[in-house]
Structure 1
Amino acid sequence: MARINLLDTRTTSFGDLIGNGKIYRVPPFQRDYSWTEENWEDLWQDILMLHNHISVSHYMGAIVLQSFSTTDKEFTIIDGQQRLATLSIIAVAVIEKIHQLVEQNVEPEANKERQEILKRTYLGDRDPRSLRYSSKLILNENNNDFYQSNLVNLRKPLNIRSLSKSNQLLWQAFEYFSRQLEELPEVIQDGEKLATFLTDTVAQRLLFIQITVEDELNAYTVFETLNARGLELTSTDLLKNYLFSLFQGPDDLQEAQRQWRRIINTVQMEKFPEFLRYYLNLNHPRVRRERLFKIVREYVKDTIQAFDLLNQLENFSGLFVALGNPNDEFWRDTPQNQPYIRELNLFRVKQVYPTLFAAYQKFSTEDFTRLLKLLITISFRYIIVSSLNPNELESFYNEVATEIVNRNITNPRQVFNKLRPVYVKDDKFQQDFSLFSIATKGQKRKLVRYILCKLEADASGGIQIDEDSFSIEHILPEAPTNDWRQIFTDAQIEEMVYRLGNLTLLEPSFNRDIG
């Protein structure tokens, strides 16, 4: 197919995708098969709907492919491997049911021929030497051997429990769809109806939007506009596959795999794009999520640079996780930081992460703690009390991070000088605080208790109190009686009931007595 555009889109069916001698490869290091019974059940209910209503079709979402071949017969699956693998397993289950009919001597010649035709159409051709079938679908390095040897060739594994988790899921998917076929009495004992179920219902009426791209960069461009389930995972896979493509020798590749697994096990797959963005913000101003892949492609072009990126990500991965958890083991040797980390999470402040990444690497332990305290103060004034736009802080924090990395900023005082424009001045803070109003439900309840406890500690000369030992009482009640309404209008009640001055801490026993 001659191309003019960078990508080609069309509506296609599973049968069209898998037919005409096409081969689909899952990149070797893309994530393993991960669908579970919940996913299989959703898909099977869609197929049953098609089976019972012959005039309708079902849309399966977009599938993104990368073509390497001038004849367009071989593709890499950028997004869609879980769906294609599962549909292929359904084909295996149908073919296995027809094989059982042959063994039961039910129309043996016709069913044997149907079995061979369906295998060639949906699974692959038989090797003339080994007489084993090679698949039209080639899974990743962890799943492909099992898929080819056991599923495509209809061989039950000797010890299912010894399989890896993902290969167990592949086999469980086959068993699930085999059981569901048994629940179709009008189909299960008739080879022709089984074949029709696969070729007409599954293969022709499950529809995809096929998006074919020429390279990984164009694939990532697609993700900027697609809003589909699994987007975060797929974009992470794309980044990983690009990095791994830069490693030439098997030793380097294996070490990169081990390092990648350590990073993902620490950060978790779904949070990796967020983590990568904060890391890139150390050296690049205001990196947007949709530019992650482009920046990596631009600045990481060989094995040395790829290893350097992985090393840096591994170094920062523990800090990234610990910034979200004051009880993380990371803070064992610096317990003085834990209250500030708790406040950071209470305020839901993440714009500071690049600054903290840089400071943890470049500042002394004492200065890092001072910086945490400073950032908490700025955040409380700017975000919590004055309710200013937190997104405006991001460019300041990114610039500070870069200055710290480049050794232009070496201590918290210099950080404060750089952040002075976003430090809410005392007069504005006092005015905003005097009118501060905050709901006392959900996440905000913890914030209210925190503020009241801080005020109490300050009034008592610094005595720290246990926040969990107190409940929040509204002096003017949230649901005032008529006695209250004789004194306050509805407008006054609405204005005052959540004002900080209307709230107080009470021990639960006193709260019950007063109530």
Structure 2
Amino acid sequence: MAIIKQAARQTLGQLIGANNPVVTVPDDSQRQYSWTKKEVDVYWSDIEKFKDGRDVGKESSAEYFIGPVVTITAEKMSGRALLDGQQRLTTSTILLAAIRDTLWQTNSPEAKLSANNIQRDYIARKSGRKEPMEYFLVLSLFDRDFFRDYIQTWNENTGECARTEALTRPSHQLIKEAYDNLCNKVQSRLQRFPDDEDRLDYLDSLRECLINGLVFVEIQTPTSSDANEVFETINSRGKDLSTVDLVRNFLMEKSVGPHEKERVNNAWRSLLDDFQRREDIEKFLRHFWVSKHGDVKSHSLYVTIRKNLTEHFDRRPQTYSVGNFSAKLENAASRYADLISQNTGVPDFDAALAEVKVLSADALYPLFLAASEASPYDEMVDLAKAALSYYVRWTVVGTRESTLLEENIFGLAKDLSNGLASLDDAVKQVVGWIPDDDAFYVAFRDASIPKQAQSRYLLSKLEQSMRVAADISDEFALGGNKVHVENIYPAKPDAGLKLEDHDNWVSRLGNLTLLTGRRDRSNSNLPYPEKEPAYDGSSMLVSSRTQVGALWDFGASRWRVEGIVERQERLARIALDVWPSGIGERA
């Protein structure tokens, strides 16, 4: 059980500021800034409501409790190491900076003095001309320099921060976006006050609300292990987005000496530098673990990792260390970044990976990650083609139970990682799972695809195949934005032309096609004769050469469900070659 020295009520002004111990986010225990516009908007909305209630003397708005923070505090209380609460304290400091900069821009001596006071009292100051800058909130190594450059190191003569640091990580961009967002919100609120005095009063009142009204509960612990235990208890209950941070904290806790801690930090630098979005890091961590150990759900990932690695790290003599795991993680991160960005340098493999992305076929990534550990990318093309055929035939068109596909793929990835299967074995295994041509033809012939991304993908691949067969050399980009999916029989037809079983026919593949340019909904809902020139004259072969006209009965002036069936059977025959049941059969 964790030891807690005390849990004390603290205002923002008692946590950060010139008269308080500096709050430092340890390099070995905390994540980078991660609040998006959504979280910042909620934060601002709460502050606004709190301030409005406080201004009218509402008793329930005397204080605004914003949550707990977890710190490691020494006996002499010379500093605080922050384990939990970074996002809230960082965002509060950003809002103070936004108030500071807004005050300065009003260009009055009183406002500039207030801006300088906010800077010196709650953000950063120099105790002497030749003394180094003292920062009241010190972020971890991932964000420290950028946060100082963009928010904290402020010139009292010019009213500006240097802002010369490059935005090299997603967290840097989020810091900038949070600052811009909060500046805009403060400026927008000021528009309600035509008088400069009223504006200054509002800004001063907002500052006072933050400093004296924003309340935390600081949970002080004596050691990092105690703080980590409290941090995990607070953050691991149903909060998937904290998994990466919890794993890093766990690795730091299990590290033996500074060398292993640095090894963990190096791995995390790679994760932050290789991926553009935090969601990609979360996804990578799960897929990395799945590729080694088989399926595990996101909500139980951290508990599973901790239990498994603890058994290894605590074993004596130790055969697998924090350093070993961190090195594997760092190596895999680089390869995973290649996979999700389609940047392997092998055109055929990158094309297959582009299809995986369009289909959101994330279940295939653990297999490719496992294979890439021992095989070069140019040898993985057949595996990617087989996996795509399996995914399309089984899930997209066949609409079979995806759980079985994931079970097969994840188990095979585990066998590859553990040396129980070779790359050739893996290809043969996947090919053996692909539904045969008869089953696929029947499934495709009857398929209804309401999801726009999937129908666009299927039609685009058919279009590519038809162009190759027709010896048309101009390229057609899969997933490009120059074409759209069109319902031949309209999604909203005139009442007199509506088919009896409308919902069963409108999303059938035989009723869908591609047209160039942006979709015109009014034209899409016209009777066929008024749309016929668009199909006959289309550069899309899937529109001009697949019997689109069979969907209309010119004699009776009505739509033909028989035409949808006939056209879909034609497309199904082409599909057999586009997504083959074997290897080396692709069109």
Q: Could you state the TM-score of these two structures normalised by the residue count of structure 2?
A: 0.61
Contact residue 267 and residue 275 of structure 1 kept, 8 A: no
Whether 2:83 is the aligned partner of 1:78: answer yes
Match 1:511 to one of 513, 524, 535: 535
Whether 2:268 is the aligned partner of 1:268: answer no
Contact residue 12 and residue 211 of structure 2 kept, 8 A: yes
Whether 2:317 is the aligned partner of 1:305: answer no
Contact residue 25 and residue 76 of structure 1 kept, 8 A: yes
Shift, 1:346, TM fit: 2.7
Whether 2:320 is the aligned partner of 1:320: answer no
Shift, 1:305, TM fit: 3.3
Contact residue 282 and residue 405 of structure 1 kept, 8 A: yes
Match 1:289 to one of 298, 304, 312: 298
Name the aligned partner's letter for residue 82 of structure 2: I
Residues 108-507 of structure 1 mapped to structure 2, 5 A cutoff: 137-140=137-140, 142=144, 160-162=162-164, 201-208=209-216, 214-225=226-237, 232=241, 235-243=243-251, 246=255, 248-249=257-258, 257=265, 260-270=268-278, 271-294=280-303, 295=305, 298=310, 299=312, 305-325=321-341, 328-330=342-344, 332=345, 334-363=346-375, 367-417=379-429, 420=432, 423-439=434-450, 442-450=452-460, 452-453=462-463, 456=466, 460=469, 467=476, 474-481=487-494, 484-485=497-498, 488=499, 490-491=500-501, 493-504=502-513
| Alignment correspondent of 1:108 | none
Change (3 A) 1:248 1:195: same
Greater shift, 285-294 or 429-438, is seen at: 285-294
CA distance in 2, matches of 1:503, 1:337: 28
Whether 2:44 is the aligned partner of 1:42: answer yes
Secondary structure of 1:65 counterpart: strand
Shift, 1:443, TM fit: 1.8
C-alpha root-mean-square deviation of aligned residues, in Å? Answer: 5.7
Whether 2:66 is the aligned partner of 1:54: answer no
Contact residue 65 and residue 75 of structure 1 kept, 8 A: no
Greater shift, 75-84 or 277-286, is seen at: 75-84
Contact residue 349 and residue 377 of structure 2 kept, 8 A: no
Name the aligned partner's letter for residue 283 of structure 2: E
Deviations 1:176-206 (A, max 9, x none): 69x979989668989xx9998756x324433
Contact residue 464 and residue 476 of structure 2 kept, 8 A: no
Where in structure 1 are there 5+ consecutive unaligned residues? 99-103, 106-110
Shift, 1:400, TM fit: 0.9
CA distance in 2, matches of 1:4, 1:161: 41
Shift, 1:371, TM fit: 1.1
Contact residue 66 and residue 219 of structure 1 kept, 8 A: no
CA distance in 2, matches of 1:158, 1:466: 50
CA distance in 1, matches of 2:256, 2:266: 13
Contact residue 12 and residue 216 of structure 2 kept, 8 A: yes
Change (3 A) 1:481 1:51: closer
Shift, 1:378, TM fit: 0.9
Name the aligned partner's letter for residue 435 of structure 1: D
Greater shift, 295-304 or 391-400, is seen at: 295-304
Contact residue 291 and residue 366 of structure 2 kept, 8 A: yes
Name the aligned partner's letter for residue 448 of structure 2: S
| Alignment correspondent of 2:12 | 14
Shift, 1:36, TM fit: 10
Secondary structure of 2:70 counterpart: strand
CA distance in 2, matches of 1:89, 1:506: 48
Shift, 1:323, TM fit: 2.6
CA distance in 2, matches of 1:303, 1:134: 44
Deviations 1:44-81 (A, max 9, x none): 74565355333153757544414466899965433432
Aligned length: 480
Secondary structure of 1:351 counterpart: helix
Deviations 1:203-248 (A, max 9, x none): 4433457677834255234333365xxx74x543444455456373
Shift, 1:82, TM fit: 4.0
| Alignment correspondent of 2:526 | none
Deviations 1:322-368 (A, max 9, x none): 3334xx442x2x22223322322232211121211121223465652
Shift, 1:264, TM fit: 1.9
Deviations 1:427-486 (A, max 9, x none): 5434322311123x742342241354367479x59988855697766554444446645x
Greater shift, 302-311 or 161-170, is seen at: 161-170
Change (3 A) 1:476 1:86: closer
Name the aligned partner's letter for residue 280 of structure 1: W
Q: Could you state the TM-score of these two structures normalised by the residue count of structure 1?
A: 0.68
Contact residue 135 and residue 152 of structure 2 kept, 8 A: no
Name the aligned partner's letter for residue 434 of structure 1: R
Contact residue 452 and residue 505 of structure 1 kept, 8 A: no
Question: What is the aligned-residue identity percentage?
Answer: 20
CA distance in 1, matches of 2:506, 2:151: 67
Contact residue 449 and residue 467 of structure 1 kept, 8 A: no
Shift, 1:34, TM fit: 8.1
Secondary structure of 2:232 counterpart: helix
Change (3 A) 1:418 1:473: closer
Secondary structure of 1:362 counterpart: coil
Contact residue 348 and residue 381 of structure 2 kept, 8 A: yes
Change (3 A) 1:442 1:414: closer
Deviations 1:365-385 (A, max 9, x none): 565211111111110111111
Secondary structure of 2:360 counterpart: coil
Secondary structure of 2:380 counterpart: helix
Contact residue 266 and residue 321 of structure 1 kept, 8 A: yes
